[in-house]
Amino acid sequence: MKGLNSSETLIKTPLFVKITGLVLISFAFFYLGTKFSDSTTQPLIFFNSKQHQSSSSQSIALSPNFNKTLDLNVFISNQTSSDSPPISQSAPPPPPPPPLVLERLGIIDENGTMSENFEIGGEFDPNLVENLGDGNDEGKGVVEKNDEKEKSRVKIEKFRLCDVSLREYIPCLDNVEAIKKLNSTEKGEKFERHCPGEGKVLNCLVPAPKDYKTPIPWPKSRDEVWFSNVPHTRLAEDKGGQNWIYQEKDKFKFPGGGTQFIHGADQYLDQISKMLPEIAFGQHTRVALDVGCGVASFGAFLFSRNVTTLSIAPKDVHENQIQFALERGVPAMVAAFATHRLLYPSQAFDLIHCSRCRINWTRDDGILLLEVNRMLRAGGYFAWAAQPVYKHEENLQEQWKEMEDLTIRLCWQLVKKEGYIAIWQKPLNNSCYVNRDAGTQPPLCDGDDNPDDVWYVGLKACITRLPENGYGANVTTWPERLHHPPDRLQSIEMDAYISRKELLKAESKYWYDIIESYVRAYHWKKLQLRNVMDMRAGLGGFAAAMIDLQLDSWVMNVVPVSGPNTLPVIYDRGLIGVMHDWCEPFDTYPRTYDLLHANGLFTVEKKRCNVSTIMLEMDRMLRPGGRVYIRDSVTIMDELKEIATAMGWQAGIHDSSEGPHASWKVLMCDKHMLR
């Protein structure tokens, strides 16, 4: 009874009454809600009042019982004002992305194990069909762009091989059609640049000779090269008796002689040093020009004396002499003294050498020697080894008197004449020029003449003025001059927001760090990179880094006409280079460079030139087995890789040192030995 009384007391308490009432009310609401939901024909719609300001349609949420296809505009037409935007139904969720297909770019296969079969990237077709580029684009590696909303889609077919007759083709020097149209050739016009016109550019891959082999590495290549790489015997037949070159089994051998130094270049260089100790090879004299170089033994043997010599000759009856020079690993270009300035700046060379170079220096009142004077550094030397120096025949003595008279009017001083060599020195300033007798010829050039303007500029029959501030004459000795900012840095027309001297030092450090990483990561010292070209050289920092890191190579620093002319600075640093327009072919033989480096070139030149035309020219210059490193914007990398693949290169895009999210990437390419 006591327990029963307790239960009755609990029921009568206010707390129990409240709980009971709350439960009953909840059941009532639940029943009404269920009843209403079952009987209605429209689902409940809830609007989100926190939608984004920029949204063009309202977002909605549906009740959980949504299981039908609905026209929401019917439901809300009476609930929205007439100026409210219509509400669109949310799009169904996108299908899941396809599984990622991994492309193998390294030496680890899909199972995570090491593999010897791997691809760097790109494709190579060994069955490329030989075909001569004749202007017909069909099936010949054409770059097609379909512009749509300022976006280009690049479609590139595989480039085909040219006819074997073009295996040593230099486009701007072998333009027979243009040469035939010349009004005159008496001054050497046929040896100058005559580039193919629009629609006639090279659009195929220049083939290598049969049995082409990997070139013999330097320094062994100084003395011998493979016959199959330069299969021409005329020079050996014509010059064998002068100790230039001879054939022995499957090789050409170079004893080191020349027409005027048949006992060897080393002995010849010793003779010059004894004649004029002030010439100081490797210190005062760092950069030389060898005119009419033959097979470039003069320059080849100067390397051991820390002198970089650029060897030049025209493509004449001895047309393969520059090809032999480059195959040996000696800096060389096809160039001629004719009617235009050579593509080198004023005061470029510490020494200019001519040994039986077959040039009439006194013709047209010395206009060709005036070009030598323009390129010769103030205080530099001109060495002439020729028959008029030492022979006593009447006609040769007359030539010597003409040379003496001309050099006196040029204010050159004959510092030494011994045996068959005569050496003159250029003055350090203009004082001699301005003190000549009135009317003396040739005159000084006008003050507004730019002696560094060389691209398709005709020769001028005047004496190039020297800067009054001494710029160019006051360079330091080698090797200090490599990193000592030259005075002519101040005269370059370029934008510089900091000290130009600091800019040069910063560029040098930038490239040193990059090349040092290449040496470590890609083993550049083992790659035997001898002939190197920097296609957009800037201030020469890339080449300076190659020297600092003791890579046994030389660099042709190309300064494009589209940018500031930094060539004077490059030469003042003790380097070599040339002016060029990459919309046109370069004056070198095919297969002459081991490494082509291009930094930011295509981003600049794509506004002026056809990108595929530049890439085809690179393939022409590159040796089989050679390498290409292109640092450029990510916006052009895919197109460049596509072209590289179409040319049969192995190509892969890599992050730059700035990281994976940088705006620049590096395209690394290898050219196959056989194709």
- Tell me which DSSP letter residue 305 carries: G
Q: What is the dihedral of CA 675, 620, 594, 239, to 10 degrees?
A: 100
pLDDT value for 498: 65
E strand intervals along 346-487: 349-355, 376-385, 413-418, 421-425
Compute the distance between CA of residue 162 and CA of residue 145 in angstroms, rounded to an integer: 24
Nearest to 383 by CA among 353, 404, 420, 418: 353
Number of C-beta neighbours around residue 606 at 10 A:
17
**Confidence tier at 17 by pLDDT (50, 70, 90):** low
**Which of helix, strand or coil describes residue 675?**
coil
**DSSP conformation letters of 53-82:** TT-SS--EEE-TT--S---HHHHHTTTS-T
E strand intervals along 238-387: 246-248, 251-253, 287-291, 308-313, 332-334, 349-355, 376-385
Which amino acid is present at 543?
A: A
pLDDT (tens digit per residue) in 231-267: 988 888 877 677 789 999 999 999 988 777 878 899 9
With beta carbons less than 8 A apart as the criterion, state whether 424 and 433 touch. no
pLDDT (tens digit per residue) in 539-575: 999 999 999 999 999 999 999 999 999 999 999 999 9
Compute the distance between CA of residue 236 and CA of residue 253 in angstroms, rounded to an integer: 9
Mean of the per-residue pLDDT values of the chain: 83
Compute the distance between CA of residue 323 and CA of residue 320 in angstroms, rounded to an integer: 5
What are the φ/ψ torsions at residue 535 (nearest 5 degrees)?
A: -80, -10
Which amino acid is present at 295?
A: V
Find the range with the poorest average confidence among 64-73, 82-91, 326-335: 82-91
Bridge partners for 558 per DSSP: 578
What average pLDDT score do residues 58-83 get?
Answer: 43
- Tell me how far the alpha carbon of residue 182 is from its chain's centroid: 32
**What Å distances lie between residue 110 and 102, 115, 157, 653, CA to CA?**
8, 10, 29, 20
Find the range with the poorest average confidence among 97-101, 617-621, 627-631: 97-101
Matching residue, tokens 């290598």? 208
Lookup: tokens for 330 = 């000696």
- The burial of 628, by beta-carbon neighbours within 10 Å (0-12 exposed, 13-18 middle, 19 or more buried), is given as buried
pLDDT value for 319: 67
Q: What's the sign of the alpha-carbon dihedral 667, 310, 189, 165?
A: negative
**What Å distances lie between residue 452 and 48, 371, 555, 570, CA to CA?**
71, 12, 21, 13
- DSSP H stretches of helix in 279-382: 297-302, 321-328, 363-375
pLDDT value for 258: 79
Matching residue, tokens 């050679």? 626
Helices (H) and strands (E) in the chain, counts: 18, 21
Looking at the predicted structure, is the pLDDT value of residue 152 above 70? no
With beta carbons less than 8 A apart as the criterion, state whether 555 and 543 touch. yes
pLDDT (tens digit per residue) in 355-404: 999 999 999 999 999 999 999 999 999 999 999 999 999 999 999 999 99
Compute the distance between CA of residue 209 and CA of residue 215 in angstroms, rounded to an integer: 13
CA triple 230-231-234, angle to 5 deg: 105
Which amino acid is present at 542?
A: F
When comparing pLDDT for 560 and 63, which is higher? 560
What percent of the chain has a predicted confidence (pLDDT) above 90? 68
**Confidence tier at 196 by pLDDT (50, 70, 90):** very high
Compute the distance between CA of residue 178 and CA of residue 192 in angstroms, rounded to an integer: 11
E strand intervals along 202-319: 224-226, 246-248, 251-253, 287-291, 308-313
Helix 541-548 vs helix 500-522: angle between axes, to the nearest 10 degrees? 50
First-to-final CA distance of the chain: 112
* HEC assignment per residue over 320-333: CHHHHHHHHCCCEE
Bridge partners for 251 per DSSP: 226, 248
Find the range with the poorest average confidence among 114-128, 154-168, 200-214: 114-128
Lookup: tokens for 440 = 């003396």
Tell me how far apart the 2 most distant CA atoms of the chain are, in Å: 160
E strand intervals along 161-238: 224-226
pTM over 0.85: no
Across 345-359, b (16+ Cβ under 10 Å) vs e yields: bbbbbbbbbbbbbeb
pLDDT (tens digit per residue) in 219-233: 999 999 999 999 988
Residues 6+ apart with CB under 8 A from 110: 102, 104
- Tell me how far the alpha carbon of residue 399 is from its chain's centroid: 44
With beta carbons less than 8 A apart as the criterion, state whether 36 and 30 touch. no
Looking at the predicted structure, is the pLDDT value of residue 272 above 70? yes
pLDDT value for 237: 81
Find the range with the poorest average confidence among 293-297, 317-321, 487-491: 317-321
